[in-house]
């Protein structure tokens, strides 16, 4: 039976690109900026990275770029003395063979776990049944050479929501060790982390929304942590929320008034700044990395078609001042940690 990843805070990191070469319509990887960001997060104490996930624009990368990205960051972590930092590899694909191949290439490049996104191309056409999805994930898990986490993110999968019955079934597979839930249904988080139908020692529940971390960690024994985009620039704050929440949970709430007040204040401020990601997604995360950390993210942040006008009109660069207060509040917390 596969071992689940350690509990904690994981960062789905953006992929950094060099300036856009219009003549060739290419934006090469910027591995220098990528490594700078990776080492910043490792120094902050994060548990692990997700590379080539949704925030990492996996669908905009070639298979060779995915492997190059993972290999370069694994090397940087080892050489920097952070070999304990876990790497999860996003494996977004629509077919079983390709997904299994991406997982194999990711392991060879240095990944420890596979974060497997729900296939969804025909979701709005009524092409998927619970039985079909169950068999798809089971086939991937049985042939994956990495332990698998199920990635349920309806916003990028044609609003396809994996049912509780399906998640409970998948949780029993010996090579499926957890899930990332990137949706606002806290009830599903609570049930999957609490139900006695799941062995919580081998199946861990991570929220993809940092604004849900405190309630998740107080919900049940299967609650593990967060895989959250805002931690790309405010990692220490989310780590502090995680540590305080785990302490409160272990003590059954028997902690000091000051600790309760601190975790509530941190979660509130963090949730306020999460509204930036709710509004702007991946491009917003990259804009915030540039603004908060001063790390180059490339022209307009992402790859085509993301970068087309991403900083113009009502995009994140134009809206920064409207969110400045929320960012400064968390930066104040971050600077004290």
Residue-wise pLDDT for 105-126, tens only, equals: 999 999 999 999 999 998 888 8
Average of per-residue pLDDT values in the chain: 93
CB atoms within 10 A of CB 264: 13
Tell me the mean pLDDT in the region 142-161: 95
The predicted pLDDT at position 24 comes to: 66
Which member of 113, 128, 151, 153 is catalytic?
151
Superfamily of domain 8-251: Aldolase class I (3.20.20.70)
Specify binding-site residues for pyruvate. 55, 227
**Is 265 a residue whose pLDDT tops 60?**
yes
Phi, psi of 243 (to 5 degrees): -65, -45
Which member of 74, 107, 180, 236 is catalytic?
180
Token pair belonging to 196: 């006695």
With bands split at pLDDT 50, 70 and 90, how would you rate the model's confidence at 177? very high
Buried b (16+ CB within 10 A) or exposed e, 167-179: bebbbebebbbbb
Specify burial of residue 201 (Cβ count, 10 A radius: 0-12, 13-18, 19+): exposed
With bands split at pLDDT 50, 70 and 90, how would you rate the model's confidence at 307? low
Instruction: Provide the whole-model pTM.
Output: 0.95
Asked about 318 being catalytic, the answer comes back as no
Residue-wise pLDDT for 37-75, tens only, equals: 999 999 999 999 999 999 999 999 999 999 999 999 999
**DSSP character string of 21-57:** BTTTTB--B-HHHHHHHHHHHHHHT-SEEEESSTTTT
Phi, psi of 154 (to 5 degrees): -55, -30
Asked about 151 being catalytic, the answer comes back as yes
Specify binding-site residues. 55, 227
Residue-wise pLDDT for 182-201, tens only, equals: 998 999 999 999 999 999 99
Place of tokens 């219009």: 22
Prior bond to 305 cis, omega within 30? yes
**Is 310 a residue whose pLDDT tops 60?**
no
């Amino acid at each position: 039976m596969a071992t689940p990843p350690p509990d904690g805070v994981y960062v789905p990191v953006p992929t950094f690109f060099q300036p856009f070469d219009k003549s060739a319509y290419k934006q090469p990887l910027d591995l220098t900026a990528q490594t700078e960001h990776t080492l910043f997060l490792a120094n902050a104490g994060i548990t692990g990275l997700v590379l080539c996930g949704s925030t990492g624009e996996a669908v905009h990368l070639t298979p060779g770029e995915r492997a190059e990205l993972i290999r370069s960051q694994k090397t940087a972590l080892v050489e920097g003395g952070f070999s304990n930092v876990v790497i999860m590899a996003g494996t977004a694909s629509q077919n079983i063979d390709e997904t299994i191949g991406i997982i194999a290439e990711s392991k060879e490049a240095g990944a420890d776990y596979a974060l497997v996104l729900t296939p969804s191309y025909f979701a709005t056409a009524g092409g998927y049944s619970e039985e079909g999805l169950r068999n798809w994930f089971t086939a991937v898990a049985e042939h994956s050479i990495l332990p698998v986490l199920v990635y349920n993110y309806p916003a990028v999968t044609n609003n396809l929501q994996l049912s509780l019955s399906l998640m409970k079934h998948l949780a029993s597979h010996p090579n499926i060790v957890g899930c990332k839930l990137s949706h606002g249904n806290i009830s599903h988080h609570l049930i999957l982390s609490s139900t006695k139908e799941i062995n919580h020692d081998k199946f861990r529940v991570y929220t993809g929304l940092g604004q849900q971390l405190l309630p998740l960690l107080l919900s049940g024994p299967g609650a593990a942590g967060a895989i959250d985009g805002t931690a790309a620039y405010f990692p220490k704050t989310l780590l502090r929320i995680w540590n305080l929440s785990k302490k409160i949970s272990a003590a059954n709430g028997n902690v000091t008034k000051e600790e309760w007040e601190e975790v509530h204040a941190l979660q509130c401020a963090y949730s306020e700044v999460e509204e930036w990601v709710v509004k702007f997604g991946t491009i917003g995360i990259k804009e915030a990395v540039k603004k908060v950390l001063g790390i180059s993210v490339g022209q307009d942040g992402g790859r085509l078609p993301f970068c087309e006008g991403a900083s113009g009109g009502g995009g994140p660069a134009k809206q920064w001042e409207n969110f400045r207060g929320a960012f400064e509040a968390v930066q104040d917390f971050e600077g004290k940690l």
